[in-house]
Amino acid sequence: IGTIVDRHYSSPKHFDTHRHAPKAMKFARQVALLMVGTAFTASAFTPAALTAARGGSGAAGVARRSLAVKATTEKLPVTCGEDVMSEKAHGTSEKPVQKDLRWGCDYDTADRICNFNRHYAEYAGYWTSTRFLNEVDRENPTEYYDSVTGKLLFTAPVGRSMDEFIKESQSHGWPSFRDEEVNWEYVRCLSNGECVSTSGTHLGHNIPDGKGNRYCINLVSVAGRPEE
């Protein structure tokens, strides 16, 4: 964990989951239940299931997605292989980041970190230097979109207040999301903890703490505007 933390940028310039019939019947029922449970878990991360779990935007959608994720917490994060981050038309993505990123995030920094970087990050506290703290909704969850594709990646806060989300993020230095705040339809983690989008955008790293998985994400990677 320490190694990953140390690899985050410290300055803007450096970024670098029978014996008797009654007993036999009981055993058969247990096996059947186990098979059903296994099938449910295996199907929990199909595209259709993930879409249903996401439930759309708004408070109702967040609540449905949160409940679905809690039912499969032992499988999180959803992982992927190196193929997701293979070389594409524009670094690890098919195209550059959006031009008009939210909260005044810098285009060049965002494009470099999202598409031409695998290990490093915006410098600690960068997100507080943007308009984020002044513009973010303090009463309702905020949706965070892929800066390249405009896909919904995170919704926060879920199960906590915005003040708690901000406090944790300030303590670590980067926006910090929990399992129930991740849209697993489009977010994956590699074996080394790197957190990426299914289209190849570098997002940050999973650096677990005593509370569980904690996804430390670059604001420039999730400052996109929703796809049309």
- Mean pLDDT in the chain? 80
Model pLDDT, residue 147: 98
Strands of 194-197's sheet in order across: 176-177, 215-217, 202-206, 194-197, 187-189
Residue count of the chain, please give it: 228
* Confidence (pTM): 0.73
202: which strand partners?
196
Q: Looking at residue 99, what is its pLDDT?
A: 96
Does residue 95 contact residue 148 with C-beta atoms inside 8 Å?
Answer: yes
Q: What DSSP string describes 5-53?
A: HHTS-SBTTB-----SHHHHHHHHHHHHHHHHHHHHHHHTTSHHHHHHH
102-127 residues labelled b (16+ CB within 10 A) or e (exposed): bbebbbebbbbbbbebeebbbbbebb
Q: Residue 101 gets which letter from DSSP?
A: -
Statement: residue 2 has pLDDT above 80: no
What pLDDT is recorded for position 46? Answer: 45
CB 128 within 8 A of CB 16: no
Per-residue CA distances from 76 to 183, 190, 195 (Å): 12, 12, 12
The string of pLDDT tens digits covering residues 56-112 is 555 556 554 554 454 455 589 999 999 999 999 999 999 999 999 999 999 999 999
| pLDDT at residue 159 in the model | 97
How many CA atoms are closer than 13 Å to the CA of 175, on its beta-carbon side? 30
pLDDT digits (tens, 9 = 90+) for 183-223: 999 999 999 999 999 999 999 999 999 999 999 999 999 99
Residue 217 has what pLDDT? 98
Given this model, what pLDDT does residue 58 score? 59
Q: What pLDDT shows up at residue 199?
A: 98
Asked whether the beta carbons of 84 and 188 are under 8 A apart, the reply is yes
The yes-or-no verdict on residue 51 having pLDDT over 70 is: no
pLDDT digits (tens, 9 = 90+) for 110-159: 999 999 999 899 999 999 999 999 999 999 999 999 999 999 999 999 99
H/E element, 112: helix 107-115
The whole-number pLDDT of residue 228 equals: 79
Q: Once rounded to an integer, what is the mean pLDDT over residues 164-193?
A: 97
* Rounded Cα–Cα distance for residues 172 and 5 (Å): 9
